[in-house]
């Protein structure tokens, strides 16, 4: 009986010693403490723009968001970083380079309307086209 109690106590001692470092590691956060307005991420959105349902251009925008707990989405748009265009149908050529002409924010920066300019050709030289892309979180 004494031997059985020693074995049980030894098992409990081993378990408690092994469990202690794991508990201590769980209680220490390896992540830095970040306030709600400094955690940022980049996101991408793509939209297809139609001209007369014949010429289609895919516009892709990269934008930055920051954590904002006052918004229903938990995020806010803090800027549009860059973008590109590609042929989605009908064009002979679409330049991948776009120009961001303006950005308008709404709904506490949960929505952004981005006016972009891109160049495309139907076969007789390139022309400038504009598109309004809406980003909603």
Helix H segments across 1-137?
2-27
CA distances for 3 relative to 6, 7, 8, 13, angstroms? 5, 6, 9, 15
CA distances for 77 relative to 8, 88, 135, angstroms? 59, 27, 9
pTM exceeds cut of 0.85: no
Q: What is the pLDDT of residues 42-101, one digit of tens each?
A: 999 999 999 988 999 999 999 999 888 888 888 999 999 999 999 999 999 999 999 999
């Amino acid at each position: 009986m004494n031997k059985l109690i020693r074995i049980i106590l030894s098992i409990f001692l081993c378990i408690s010693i092994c469990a202690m470092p794991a508990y201590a590691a769980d209680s220490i956060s390896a992540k830095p403490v970040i306030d709600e307005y400094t955690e940022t991420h980049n996101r991408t959105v793509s939209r297809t723009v139609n001209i007369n349902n014949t010429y289609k251009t895919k516009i892709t925008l990269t934008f930055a968001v920051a954590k904002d707990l006052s918004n229903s989405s938990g995020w806010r748009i803090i800027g549009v970083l860059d973008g590109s265009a590609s042929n989605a149908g009908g064009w002979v050529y679409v330049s991948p380079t776009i120009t961001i002409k303006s950005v308008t924010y709404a709904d506490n920066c949960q929505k952004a309307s981005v006016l972009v300019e891109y160049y495309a050709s139907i076969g007789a030289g390139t022309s400038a086209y504009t598109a309004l892309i809406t980003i909603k979180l």
